[in-house]
Every structure is written in C-alpha cells, then in structure tokens.
Amino acid sequence: MPKYRFFLLDADNTIFDFDAAERQAWFKAMRSCGLPSDDGMYASYHNINASLWKELEKGNISKDALVIERHRRTLERYGIYADAARLNSVYMPFLSECALPLPGAVDFLRHLRETADERIRESGSGGIYIITNGVEKTQKKRLSDSEVKNYVDGMFISEAIGFPKPDRRYFDSVFASIDGFERPAAVVVGDSLSSDIKGGKNAGVDTVWFDLYRKGLPDDPPAIPDYTAVSYDGIFDLFSV
C-alpha cells in the first residue's frame, strides 16, 4: 500500500453528520414558514433530495435548480401550496448552522493530522483536504463553526470550481491547486460510490469507501473502491501502514 500524504476527505456523512443536520434544519424551516411537517414528509424530502444530488452528479440538473426543486417536489407530493424558493431561503441558514461532526470524526482527524504532519516533514508535501459537492456558503459556514477546521488544510467546493464530483475536471482542478501534489501519494475517502469513489477512480487516485452503515456493495456498483472501511479506526489502520 502506498504511504499516503494527500488525504482528500468527503464532507457529508464522511466527516459531518449530514443526515442529522438535514433533519434538524428541515423541521426548523417548515415550522418557521408555518408549514405542516412530520416524519413521513421528512422521509420524502430526504429521498427526493438524495435523488436530485445523484442527478447533479450526472450533470442532469444545476445546483441552483436542485435546491429549489427538492422542496417543490416535496410540497407538491403533499398538496401543500407554498413558495419553494422562500422555503429554501429559510432552510439554508438553518442547515449552515448545523456543524455536527459524526461521532469519532474529530478524534480521527486529530490522529490523521499527526500522521500527515510527520509525512510532510519527511517529504515536503502533503495535507488533509475536504472535497465536497455541497453548497458553498453552507459548507464554509459549517467548517468555520466546527472543530474540523483545526485539522484540515483547505476545502474544495464544487460550486466554486464549476464541476461536481465525480467529474474528472473537478479533481484535476483540486490536484492543480495543491502544492507538490502526487497522484500515487493521494487517497480519496468518501461514503458515496457514485461521487467520491467513482470520481477518485476516474482521476487516477486510490479510494477508500466509508461504509459507515455497513450496507455493503450493491450488485451493480457505479465504482469499485480500492479499500472499504466501516469505522474511523478502519480508515486510520489503512493510512498508518
């Protein structure tokens, strides 16, 4: 196994607990707008949102359209007449306030920082970076409000770059922005086979699929990871070689 020096970590459901943040923000937004809400409606929103992000990865929808469409479809499904754009404008600030790392994420990053620093001293290059398809303003706020910022060297947001993961152009832009970057010494870690793992493989770097919920590979995965880990300890064990 290569001795990795460039660690490219997905944000949501790899470092940050996006599901918890999404749920909290959605219920707050619905209440703030005086709209009905329950667990069933939230489940519908969650599934619609997830499916639209898959469409973004395929280039079938823009991010500006996605953030409105997810609310519009949910409201339509329940026969609720409300302004989806206004709902999103209320929802996004609530989401940006939910900077909740997954349990164990901060400890993992603390230990990884020590490993990265040692290897940077030895070679002169390396680092820990967040790679995300999330909304730029939201992701920057969540990073700045969390302990995560103490352990990473930067964050690359697809909205700022102009291409989403898994687009090869996203990764090429990231690599070009990191001093001394070397593909053989880089690894992508993420929970999404279609975004993180497929993107990393297309870009010519090793990948670790973070299967936190132990779902296992589907029958026809969009990409096959080089490694799979079901815990932060499992990821760190791979990196400590």
Do the domain assignments include residue 86?
yes
Q: For the domain that residue 72 is a member of, what is the CATH number?
A: 1.10.150.240
**45/123 same-domain check:** no
Encoded tokens for 203: 């870009």
Q: Are residues 134 and 215 in the same domain?
A: yes
142 and 45 in a single domain? The answer is no
Q: Are 84 and 111 found together in one domain?
A: no
pTM: 0.90
Query: What is the per-residue pLDDT for 44?
Result: 98
In terms of Cα–Cα distance, which of 187, 195, 199, 201 is closest to 229?
187
Domain endpoint, select from 55, 77, 96: 96
pLDDT at residue number 99: 85
Instruction: Give the domain range for residue 59.
Output: 18-96
137: number of Cβ within 10 Å: 14
Are residue 62 and residue 107 in the same domain, yes or no?
A: no
Last residue of a domain, one of 96, 113, 135: 96
pLDDT at 79: 96
Together in a domain, 180 and 112: yes
Are 179 and 158 spatial neighbours (Cβ–Cβ below 8 Å)? Answer: no
Q: Which residues are catalytic?
A: 10
For residue 2, the model assigns a pLDDT of 66
Do 53 and 128 reside in the same domain of the chain? Answer: no
Residues 208 and 121 in one domain: yes
At 168 the pLDDT is: 96
Looking at the structure, do residues 88 and 114 belong to the same domain, yes or no?
no
Phi, psi of 192 (to 5 degrees): -100, 120
The residue from 40, 72, 96 where one domain ends is 96
φ and ψ at residue 126, rounded to 5 degrees: 145, -175
Rounded mean pLDDT for each run of 10 residues along the chain, 241 residues in total = 89 94 96 97 97 93 95 97 97 91 96 95 96 92 93 96 95 97 97 96 97 90 96 92 69
Tell whether 27 and 115 lie within a shared domain. no
Name the pairing type of β-strands 206-210 and 186-190.
parallel
